[in-house]
A and B are shown apart, each in its own frame.
Chain A
Amino acid sequence: MPEKNEEPLLELKGITKSFGAVQALDGVDFEVYRGEVVGLVGDNGAGKSTLVKCISGIFPIDAGEIRFEGKPVVINGPKDVAKLGIETVYQDLALCDNLDVVQNLYLGREKTGGLFNFMDEATMEKRSSDVLKGLSVKIPYVRTHIASLSGGQRQSVAVARAVMWNSKLVLLDEPTAALGVAQTRMVLDLILNLKKQGLGVVVISHNLADVFKVVDRMVVLRLGRRVGTFYPKTSSNEQIVAAITGAEFGSTEVAQPVAK
């Protein structure tokens, strides 16, 4: 759990973003501390993806302030974000199936050297093995092609790739979608591992049951606004569902639509 009075790793204040007439984010505050797992939940269209894309530099924000490690930062694109040490793992993983684990971990950042600037395979393979071991990710052999890995293993490789470059904050978009029980367990363990290593983790998910198992805090968005913060220890599933759907807190009844 974050220490009291500690400054957040990432702090967003009053983030506003609209697409034409659609107000996707309306004055959203959001914060993540070091060594904390924050769940970002909400219904479709609540603004989860938009918020993540604003943080990862894909969408420029219309208004609001972003502070990283206490300092205000200006984000003008994904490269700025990577420089800060923020990495995003998207739902579609962005791995190359035809390449092996090492090649994927190092894609775009290959270690080269020597007279002809050839790739240093042995060093890359060693470091890849070490990184995966450090995260307790179980892959039979780092020269296995991604195509022959299970869903959980792929997700783990994608996450490992995001954090192996001295990242401080990692955003996971639906990390357990389409995974079986054992595979989900593997990914959740990995998330707890990242937390243990002091990283800030944001998990965007539809699956409350999964999120409940690993998060320290849960932020609920609805229709572009932050409508609540919940702690798994003190909140019930029903309360969160109510916040997501817009029913009264504490009530499981869904608000009736206005009669036509």
Chain B
Amino acid sequence: MENLESHPLPDANKPEEKGLFARLKKALQGEDLSIFPILLGIVLIWAIFQIANYHFLSPLNLTNLMLQIAALGAMTVGIVPVLLLGELDLSIGSVSGLCAGVMAVLNVKAGWSGPWAVLAGILVGVLIGLLQGTLIVKIRLPAFIVTLAGMLGWSGALLLVLGNTGTINIRDKFILSLAGTFYPAYVGWIVAAVAIVAVFATMISDRRGRIKNGLRTTSLTLLLVKGIAISALIVAAVAVMNGNRGLPSDVVIFIGLVIIFDVILKHTTFGRYIYAVGGSADAARRASINVDRIRITVFSIATTLAAVGGILAGSRLLAVNQASGAGELQMDTIAAAVIGGTSLFGGIGNMWSALIGTIVIGSISNGMDLLAFPSSIKFIITAIVLVISVTIDAVTKRRRDAKAK
């Protein structure tokens, strides 16, 4: 519909705005701008920590920051679809520990080769998700209770798997390479170039499709600004990593997962149905969507990516022990997704919230470490950040609901 002005919303009885602001507003209409406040938040957090400690924004520390969040990030990619359904999964911390434990035991004690041990660990994650998802969907147990039980049960299973060995050190080359490889500078630049070409190619083909169908398009200027901004971010990120040891493999895996699942959410019917079920399960059912299958699959994705996260963490720390997957990891995944803009109430959010949210959580944690804050203060500050982000989420939802009435 091109003649937008001729069909104003009935409740649009606000006086007309003129000038630059109005033009900007019109140009940005239909664009998703929810990402900007969070980006601003990151800039603010980084500025504060940089002022407090000038090492914070060094290539060394920023690379470390990314290494620290890769495992958490992979798990957050898995929790986002669960939140989109309006559900919770409290088990993924424990599941990540258990799956890493299974991998370590099979590799070190049973002598399995690295790739098979990793696959087995991931398979355990898949099966746990299928089991929990089936209990939640078919027997209609609350996800909260099933995954809370999982939180306890799977950490018990980790202790069982480890037996009387408290810590298993990993020496397998393949497993260690998952998180411990730094690619030479030229690889980083090739990746950056491919990513930039992909960004522009997607935008151009999308625009062509819309023009061909006579649909409204965003202005070329805006598109160009968007493309250049994204490219600048990619170049900056690669430059920073290359300024230190190079692009780390686990960061590549994490961001690769974000991109793959972003495409799934945006472009496949499966992704669309996740949003539909999160918005209104009844409406989805009436549209003959297999709601049960969607929900079980999503719970399985969460635990599968928990396994991937656990394995990356084990690979980075060179060991799996009784405390793997314990502590604040579980809460951090949910906090990261919500901080990144995925609603706890279902139906709203996207995959990039996993990247942005983990960067926020990771930055706060890393910055406080640099400033040598004690754990007590760190826990309290992380808790406050979580409460603030959930508050923003709840207030936004209330406004949205009020507007809908």
Task: Note all chain B residues with C-beta closer than 8 A to A79.
Answer: 288
Alpha-carbon separation in the docked complex, A94 to B285 (Å): 9
Alpha-carbon separation in the docked complex, A133 to B1 (Å): 9
Task: Note all chain B residues with C-beta closer than 8 A to A103.
Answer: 272, 275-276
Task: Output the residue of B7, B214, B215 with the most chain A CB within 10 A.
Answer: B215
Q: For the complex, is B267 an interface residue (Cβ under 8 Å from A)?
A: yes
| Contacting residue for B212 out of A122, A143, A150, CB 8 A | A122
- Docked-complex contact B278 and A98, CB < 8 angstroms: yes
| Interface secondary structure of A, over-half rule | loop
Task: Note all chain B residues with C-beta closer than 8 A to A143.
Answer: 30
- Docked-complex contact B286 and A141, CB < 8 angstroms: no
* Nearest chain B residue, comparing its CB with the CB of A118: B267
* Nearest chain A residue, comparing its CB with the CB of B283: A94
Q: For the complex, is A142 an interface residue (Cβ under 8 Å from B)?
A: yes
A-B pairs with CB below 8 Å: how many? 101
| Contacting residue for B272 out of A93, A117, A119, A129, CB 8 A | A119
Q: For the complex, is B404 an interface residue (Cβ under 8 Å from A)?
A: yes
Task: Note all chain B residues with C-beta closer than 8 A to A116.
Answer: 267-268
Query: In the complex, which residues 95-142 of chain A have their Cβ closer than 8 Å to any Cβ of chain B?
Result: 95-99, 103, 107-110, 112, 116-119, 121-123, 125-126, 129, 133, 138-142
Task: Output the residue of A93, A123, A141, A182 with the most chain B CB within 10 A.
Answer: A141
Contacts A107-B287, A119-B267 given; does A98 touch B213 at CB 8 Å = no
Q: For the complex, is A254 an interface residue (Cβ under 8 Å from B)?
A: no
Contacts A110-B269, A116-B267, A126-B215 given; does A92 touch B209 at CB 8 Å = no
| Contacting residue for B269 out of A112, A125, A148, CB 8 A | A112
Mask: chain A, 130-166; 1 = CB below 8 Å from B; 0 = not: 0001000011111100011010000000000000000
| Contacting residue for B8 out of A98, A108, A140, CB 8 A | A140
Mask: chain B, 177-203; 1 = CB below 8 Å from A; 0 = not: 000000000000000000000000000
- Docked-complex contact B276 and A147, CB < 8 angstroms: no
Task: Note all chain B residues with C-beta closer than 8 A to A142.
Answer: 1
Q: For the complex, is B289 an interface residue (Cβ under 8 Å from A)?
A: yes
Alpha-carbon separation in the docked complex, A122 to B216 (Å): 10
Q: For the complex, is B403 an interface residue (Cβ under 8 Å from A)?
A: yes
Contacts A97-B279, A98-B275, A108-B287 given; does A125 touch B213 at CB 8 Å = yes
Q: For the complex, is B57 an interface residue (Cβ under 8 Å from A)?
A: no
Whole-angstrom distance from the CB of B369 to the nearest CB of chain A? 38
* Nearest chain B residue, comparing its CB with the CB of A90: B286
- Docked-complex contact A98 and B287, CB < 8 angstroms: no
- Docked-complex contact A94 and B272, CB < 8 angstroms: no
| Contacting residue for A147 out of B268, B282, B404, CB 8 A | B404
Q: For the complex, is B226 an interface residue (Cβ under 8 Å from A)?
A: no
Q: For the complex, is B17 an interface residue (Cβ under 8 Å from A)?
A: no
- Docked-complex contact A94 and B282, CB < 8 angstroms: yes
Whole-angstrom distance from the CB of B365 to the nearest CB of chain A? 31
| Contacting residue for B9 out of A108, A118, A150, A182, CB 8 A | A150
- Docked-complex contact A147 and B267, CB < 8 angstroms: no
Task: Note all chain B residues with C-beta closer than 8 A to A117.
Answer: 268
Whole-angstrom distance from the CB of A109 to the nearest CB of chain B? 8
* Nearest chain A residue, comparing its CB with the CB of B287: A108
Mask: chain B, 379-402; 1 = CB below 8 Å from A; 0 = not: 000000000000000000000110
Closest 4 A-B residue pairs measured CB to CB? A108-B287, A96-B279, A98-B347, A98-B279
Known: A98-B279, A107-B289, A140-B1. 19 other contacts (CB 8 A): A90-B286, A92-B282, A94-B287, A98-B347, A107-B276, A107-B283, A119-B272, A122-B209, A125-B210, A129-B215, A139-B7, A140-B9, A141-B1, A141-B29, A141-B216, A143-B30, A147-B400, A147-B403, A182-B10
Q: List 26 A-B contacts (CB under 8 A).
A: A90-B286, A92-B282, A93-B283, A94-B280, A94-B287, A96-B279, A96-B280, A96-B283, A98-B275, A98-B346, A103-B275, A103-B276, A107-B276, A109-B287, A110-B272, A117-B268, A119-B269, A122-B209, A139-B1, A140-B1, A141-B4, A141-B29, A142-B1, A143-B30, A147-B403, A150-B9
